[in-house]
């Protein structure tokens, strides 16, 4: 390697007209080296000494590109994955590399894999405890022993002020899934002043963007006792709830792919839910905004959130009324429950709470049956809010939501909560 002083002497002597042989003899290097250096100078090539080689040159490039592509070109998520599971990419266990260094390597070596720029929108600013944004996102996960990945639905909720997030694996976007996700989130974290949602038919019946929004009565029924105001996004404007939209991408790129690459022995939805809960504590809550972590910001926001009293007892998930079968039976989450014989062919009211407790009563409010359904069964079994009646009994549509809602509130004891 030619030293800096030698390069300067070579350039000076060459400018003075000395031959390559004379320059080589004067500097004390071979003619070939002098000739190669001068050729590089003519072509405009840099001949200075290169810096250290990136650690990622020793990684499995095929897996590196696969992960980077799957993460949507998110270098930060890739860096976290590399630091937590370096062996997957053929790196040493002690591998350490900054997010910026990973970004520099990937954009330099693989410039065509970068993310396209998207139009910017004005950031939404809210007060602590003002809002909770909710949504569903979808992804695939390969459980242990499966040849193909399973398509899954994830309920997501984010408090925009603190960026605190909640995620729950649920069976699709049927109304009971929305209700269970919202109820569990409110019971664990607290009630804001308003909930911002999209225009899913389980939540919003009518919204033309003129400000006149008609919400689903079950959605209003759930929020009314806690004084929460429902707010709908403008149609075709998902960026209105940008906090939960951004978190959805972050969750899929960072959590789901992270768990998949770690090759953990996750066998079912409940084990996956446990891993997600731990990821929120270890990763999502440690993100830093304005010099504080999400966990620290949320501790401040907690004081502005109304925490439901006796949440484990009085947070409802779903309610419906239906006709009992000719054998006086009803079905909940795949289970058959037998009622007294005199209930055959009559209307009964059913309420399910987020902790699995349920109550079946007559339309006059007389208790018929109580019990509990395992939460994991509720989380994996599709249960629509529409009445699924036995035999040929017709389903009951909620044409008069106020009458039904007030009756159900009495049944689940919400009036006791609101009255202290």
Looking at per-residue confidence, does 370 or 176 come out higher? 370
Q: Which of 126-130, 211-215, 242-246, 396-400 has the lowest mean pLDDT?
A: 396-400
CATH 3.30.420.10 fits 131-304, yes or no: yes
Weakest-pLDDT range from 117-121, 166-170, 368-372: 117-121
Task: Give pLDDT tens digits for 333-377.
Answer: 778 899 999 999 998 888 887 777 888 988 887 889 988 888 777
**CA 318, 319, 324, 327 torsion: positive or negative?**
positive
> Given this model, what pLDDT does residue 98 score?
87
Whether 388 has a pLDDT exceeding 70, the answer reads: no
- 313 pLDDT higher than 70: no
Does 163 score more than 90 pLDDT?
Answer: yes
Does the pLDDT of residue 277 top 90, yes or no? Answer: yes
Residues 338/325, Cβ–Cβ less than 8 Å: no
DSSP lists the bridge partners of residue 360 as 350, 369
Report d(CA 123, CA 420) in Å as an integer. Answer: 38
Percent above pLDDT 90 for the chain: 18
Please tell me the predicted confidence (pLDDT) of residue 340: 92
- Please give the Cα distance from 216 to 203 (Å, whole number): 5
Question: What value does the mean pLDDT take over residues 23-41?
Answer: 81
Q: Does domain 4-42 have CATH number 1.10.10?
A: yes
Higher-scoring residue by pLDDT: 294, 357: 294
- Report whether 230 contacts 265 (CB < 8 A): no
* pLDDT at residue number 230: 93
- What residues form DSSP beta bridges with 318? 352
Residue predicted with more confidence, 233 or 236: 233
Q: How many residues does the chain have?
A: 420
Cα 361–Cα 366–Cα 371 angle in degrees, nearest 5: 45
Confidence of residue 242 (pLDDT cuts 50, 70, 90): confident
How many whole angstroms separate alpha carbon 230 and alpha carbon 23?
A: 83
339 vs 33, which has greater pLDDT? 339
Residue 419 has pLDDT above 60, yes or no: no
Above pLDDT 70, what percent of the chain?
78
284 pLDDT exceeds 90? yes
pLDDT of residue 275: 92
Quick one: average pLDDT of 281-305?
Answer: 92
Evaluated on CA atoms 69, 239, 230, 126, the torsion sign reads: positive
Residue 309 has pLDDT above 90, yes or no: no
For position 226, what pLDDT does the model report?
Answer: 83
Residue 72 confidence (pLDDT) above 50: yes
User: pLDDT-based confidence at 316, cuts 50/70/90?
Assistant: low
On the question of pLDDT at 314 being above 70, the answer is no
Q: Where are the domains of the chain?
A: 4-42, 55-113, 131-304, 311-418
Closest CA to 384 of 348, 413, 408, 352: 352
Q: What number is the average pLDDT over the span 151-172?
A: 92
- Same fold for the domain at 4-42 and the one at 131-304? no
């Amino acid at each position: 390697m030619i030293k800096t002083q030698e390069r300067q002497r070579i350039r000076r002597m060459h400018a003075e007209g000395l031959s390559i042989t004379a320059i080589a003899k004067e500097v004390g290097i071979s003619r070939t080296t002098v000739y190669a250096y001068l050729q590089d100078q003519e072509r405009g090539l840099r001949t200075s000494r290169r810096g250290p080689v990136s650690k990622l040159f020793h990684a499995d490039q095929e897996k590196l590109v696969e992960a980077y592509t799957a993460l949507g070109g998110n270098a930060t998520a890739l860096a976290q994955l590399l630091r937590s599971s370096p062996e997957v990419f053929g790196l040493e266990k002690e591998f350490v590399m900054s997010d910026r260094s990973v970004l520099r390597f990937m954009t330099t070596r693989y410039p065509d894999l970068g993310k396209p720029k998207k139009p910017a929108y004005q950031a939404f600013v809210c007060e602590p405890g003002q809002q909770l944004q909710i949504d569903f996102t979808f992804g695939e996960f390969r459980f242990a022993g499966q040849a193909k990945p399973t398509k899954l639905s994830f309920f997501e909720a984010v408090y925009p002020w603190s960026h605190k997030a909640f995620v729950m694996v649920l069976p699709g976007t049927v109304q009971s899934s929305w209700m269970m996700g919202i109820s569990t989130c409110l019971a664990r974290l607290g009630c804001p002043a308003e909930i911002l949602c999209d225009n899913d038919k389980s939540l919003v019946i009518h919204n033309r963007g003129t400000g006149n929004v008609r919400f689903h009565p079950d959605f209003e029924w759930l929020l009314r006792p806690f004084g929460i105001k429902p707010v709908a996004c403008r149609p075709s404007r998902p960026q209105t709830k940008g906090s939960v939209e951004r978190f959805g991408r972050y969750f899929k790129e960072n959590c789901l792919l992270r768990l998949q690459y770690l090759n953990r022995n996750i066998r079912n939805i409940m084990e996956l839910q446990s891993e997600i809960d731990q990821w929120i504590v270890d990763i999502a809550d440690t993100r830093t905004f304005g010099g504080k972590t999400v966990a620290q910001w949320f501790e401040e926001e907690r004081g502005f959130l109304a925490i439901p009293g006796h949440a484990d007892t009085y947070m409802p998930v779903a309610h419906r009324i239906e006709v009992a079968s000719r054998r006086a039976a009803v079905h909940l989450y795949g289970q058959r429950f037998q009622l007294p014989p005199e209930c055959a062919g009559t209307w009964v009211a059913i309420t399910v709470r987020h902790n699995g407790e349920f109550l079946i009563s007559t339309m006059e409010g007389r208790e018929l049956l109580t019990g509990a359904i395992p939460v994991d069964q509720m989380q994996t079994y599709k249960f629509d809010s529409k009445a699924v009646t036995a035999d040929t009994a017709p389903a009951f549509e909620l044409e008069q939501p106020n009458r039904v809602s007030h009756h159900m509130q009495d049944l689940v004891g919400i009036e006791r909560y609101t009255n202290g």
